[in-house]
Chains A and B, each alone.
Chain A
Amino acid sequence: MRARISPATAVLGAIAAGIALLWSTPFLWMLVASFRADAYGALDLASLVPGWPPSLENFRAAWEGGDFPLYYTNTLIVVAGTLGVQLITISLAGYAFARLEFPGRETLFYLFLLQLMIVPPVLIVPNLKMVISLGINDSLLGVMAPYFASAFGTFLMRQTFKSLPRDFEDAAVIDGASLIQVLRYVLLPLARPALAAFAIVSVVAHWNEFLWPLIVINSPTRRTLTLGLASVVGGAEGAADWGLIASATLIVSAPLLVAFVLFERRIVNSFVFSGIK
């Protein structure tokens, strides 16, 4: 709409921009502080005015303090692996709940949904024991395993499948398609927005996870980004190198932020069309 902007809209826009700026203050500080050199004793640590000239010293220290390429790789493995298995379990289970009749279906569905709330961190001690007895302690698989079944995903798939007309499936079955083929060529393509929305929720959740990986992982070589950040920032007894902390945080947060900016429209759209409302 290329019409003139009304004063009301302009005011609202200014308010929105103001809120957004205020909201972003921590990130603005993060940007400014990471590039500021030698910030140990400065009284203006908190100043949002950038230091000049900008320095990469903090990034170098942060990069050397940990093995960030390794942490990235591990996190990617965890996120992709979890999502991969989740897509399988939620499609199968979602289909079963949506299309098949069997005794105890409603009760079982409610039981499934309990997992929405009863997340692994709440059951941390027995889950840790389970992971140790299965022999997957201190491994990326141990980090992923409790999340392979996703109640949220199952719920979403059930709802999505239910809302799809049966005609396509029925036609495919008549053509002699097996269940797997029906899912793969008919239903899942139609459920793409919901799958995308789920993928976003899953990736963000597992990219950012901290407590469970902290408990499971010991080896420095298996650390994820969050654990890596904690160890770089952890510091000695009382150390407070804020420039280092800011730059390490930037290193960890940047990819997701950039990805979001690039794919923002798709992300929001997938939420809209997925029927989560």
Chain B
Amino acid sequence: MGFRSNLRATGVALSLLLASGGFAVAKTTIDFYFPVPVQGALSREMSRLVKTFNDSHPDIEVVAAYTGSYDDTRLKAQAAFDSGKPPAVALVSANNVPDFVIGGEIEPIDALLSAHGQDPKTFLDDFWPALHANAKADGKLYAIPYQNSTPLLYINAQAFKDAGLDPDHPPATWAEFVAAAQKLTKRDGDKVVRYGFEMPGIYDYLGWLTQTFAMSNGGQFFNPYNPGEVYYDQPSTRGAVQFIRDLVFKYKVMPEGVVDPSQVSTDFFAGRAAMVMLSTGSLTFIRNGAKFPYQVAFIPRNQRNAAPIGGGSMVIFKKLTPEQREAAWTFVSYMTSSATLGDWSRVTGYFAPRKSSYDLPEMKAFIDQHPDALIALKQLEYGQPWLATYNVVAVRKAIEDEVQAVLSGKKQPAEAVRDAQKNADEIMKPYQEKLVQLGSL
């Protein structure tokens, strides 16, 4: 070994070093807006997922931004789109798809699937059937479900036993439900010490639960194929609103007025509400906080078991450069893979939208340990699409305002649903007129 061969060796080593990435690779940077509520664990998990992706894809950099609630996220994404600088990917409320499609803001996923060798027709097969309708518009796929929930009945098993009821056989029909609630409601003179039932009455939640009751009562709530049609002033919805009213004023098992979800869970923990209806997304919170034995159950049926889904889906925006769109697709594919969806589900308490996630060993172990999660999953069989129309927030509020009035004793159900239908139709009129123009009615 002479001096020269040492030099050559050094030269080789140096050039290898330079070639292996001593300088930056050209990166495509894309923005990702997400509304996951930030409690420590959830935001850390999201950051971890994004970081794992960025580390394994050196040519892409995803910049994740927490954009508030679902509504705030929609607002910011639309403002950014209007100004020509949309995020590449956003996690939006599952029922916002028609609004985004009508506004011409998001890409159809079909084309991206085909370009990457997947069959658009069979792509959704791995996803729970209840999720399909909300992911599509105009017969095309526009959103990929990411996290989902349904309403769920949580019951205080201890209270059930005290009242002589069997917590292993929770009420399955409306009639059983009322009977149980009446037995569970405790009074101290005139004052209610424990309500048989409580449910949130705030915007977004109330519409979801009203839809639940309406569909359990046998009817449809809206037309999944025509985002300009809702069925508020129909016997099934009217009956549902009547049932809600009766719970408060006739059977007196539910408090009057609009109840905040924080109050519902606080009352449940304090033993002041024996049964509550909350999202499956609250399962982890209830599990960690309840100091008494509790059970979960399907939403009681009147005509059938039905529960609208809730949650969020991934969408990809228009106005991207081809590189950005590619990067967006790669990111979305990663985030919606069976394994990632499974991870996310276990951390958050949401469902994994893919059936295959539940075949993975970690998921099987998790379900074994948590039978309540299994019941929640089983209800998905009766899952229904979530109200998704043109101007969905305003249309949803049209019924919510009326039911809030009913809950406060200010309106009767018949008048309430009639007014809700009138207001909703008024809001959707521009869209209906457009349909007429396009001759597609």
Contacts and interface: CB of A to CB of B under 8 A. Distances in A.
A and B associate? yes
Nearest to B38: A231
B348 to A, nearest CB: 8
Interface stretch (A85-93, A142-150, A174-182, A234-242): A234-242
Contacts of B290: 41
Given A214-B72, A239-B282, A65 B66 contact: no
| Closest CB pairs A-B (n = 3) | A41-B269, A240-B262, A238-B261
A240 B66 contact: no
A255 B63 CA distance: 32
B285 A239 contact: yes
Interface in B52-95: 63, 65-69, 72, 75-76, 79-80, 82-83, 85
Contact of B263 (A137, A214, A218, A240): A240
Nearest to A45: B266
Nearest to A132: B83
Given A41-B269, A65-B38, A218-B67, 7 more contacts: A40-B269, A61-B40, A132-B80, A214-B68, A236-B284, A237-B37, A238-B265
Q: What is the size category of the interface that chain B forms with chain A?
A: 35 or more
A220 B40 contact: no
A169 to B, nearest CB: 47
A120 interface: no
Interface string A33-64: 00000001111010000000000000001001
Interface string B223-238: 0000000000000000
Contacts of B63: 219
Contacts of B164: none
Nearest to A44: B270
A245 to B, nearest CB: 9
Interface in A85-139: 125, 128-129, 132-133, 137-138
Given A129-B79, A132-B83, A218-B76, A235 B269 contact: no
Given A41-B271, A41-B289, A43-B270, A235 B39 contact: yes
Contacts of B284: 236
A232 interface: yes
A81 interface: no
Interface string B25-42: 000000001000111101
Contacts of A239: 39, 262, 265, 282, 285
Interface string A170-212: 0000000000000000000000000000000000000000000
Interface string B200-212: 1000010000000
